[in-house]
Structure 1
């Protein structure tokens, strides 16, 4: 572990103390530590980092809540989109948090393996293929081919396609945050994503 990592927080800053936060920050602190709350990893993750900017957290929480739970994606498709993003961003922390969540939500281990090891999507269903390929093209190729865009629009419609790309974008933003603050896996947690 790098010497600039705080051992309690697992990132480059100490965990904010609840009593040092404003009322907005306290509200999100409480949500992050609540079992079954908004964070699948609690404060030792992006929520702990985001508490350094409670006002941006307040603005982003509503969007994140909508994209994850109210935009009409099945839980499996949501997790495939998150994993595709985490893979292309090489986000070990994000992947390791969401792979078990994906399994819990019914994503087949074979689909996870395809995303994890950047294998061909041949043989997958159309929806899974489109979501994985969309993540690959957005984040790896930095452009989306017209034929893939047409397939995605046909599957999701324009409105939900915008939501899908926004979902992936919010997780890419989280991956950037985790990278900048060098978020470490919890002690004893085995890394689940092969990264360079």
Structure 2
């Protein structure tokens, strides 16, 4: 870890307020990247709120939203992010074969057209920096405009998360080994 993470007793009043707000939210804990973001308390507050919105309040159940998150984590080889969200994807009911395919950089087989479209959109955003007209039209038809906006939000937010975790070299919990 390149950064000393502050304990609540070492935080300024503004940092502590942001930390406590995160703990009181739906997560029930401070997300790992927020501990780095606390060096910019206002950014930490806004980013953490956005993360909570995208994690818990999109139109997608976890087994679908986690597709965009895992594609993002894999794109950036974000070890901590992958570790955390693989568990959440499994808990949300995602087929382990989909997770394995994303890990191995293979295109998964999807039974659900929404899952396939989310995967295609996330891959295109990261690798192609946008969507072709055909994929855009498919995404709007399958996911709705709101759904497409939320997938873009998931990919963007978890890019910030992945870059933060990678830059500050967040390690995995004791005893865990990276799959990436």
Structure 1 residue corresponding to 2:11, chosen from 8, 21, 34: 21
Higher normalized helix content (fraction of residues): 2
Encode CA deviations 1:72-100: one digit per residue, 9 max, x unaligned: 21121111111111111211110011101
Structure 2 residue corresponding to 1:117, chosen from 90, 96, 104: 104
1:1-196 aligned at under 5 Å gives the runs 11-30=1-20, 37-39=27-29, 42=30, 45-192=32-179, 194=180
Separation in structure 1 between the aligned mates of residue 157 and residue 107 of structure 2, nearest angstrom: 25
Equivalent pair of 1:46/1:177 in contact (CA under 8 Å) = yes
Cα distance, 1:62 vs structure 2: 2.2
RMSD: 2.2
Q: List 4+ stretches of structure 1 deviating above 4 A.
A: 31-34
Unpaired runs of 5+ in structure 2? none
Moved more, 101-110 or 136-145: 136-145
TM-score (structure 2 length as normaliser) = 0.88
Q: Residues 89 and 177 from structure 1, CA distance in 2 versus in 1: closer, same or farther, beyond 3 angstroms? A: same
Cα distance, 1:166 vs structure 2: 0.9
TM-score (structure 1 length as normaliser) = 0.82
Unpaired runs of 5+ in structure 1? 1-10
Encode CA deviations 1:140-192: one digit per residue, 9 max, x unaligned: 22232222211111122112211210111000111111121122212211212
Encode CA deviations 1:41-81: one digit per residue, 9 max, x unaligned: x56x3122122222111122222222221222112111111
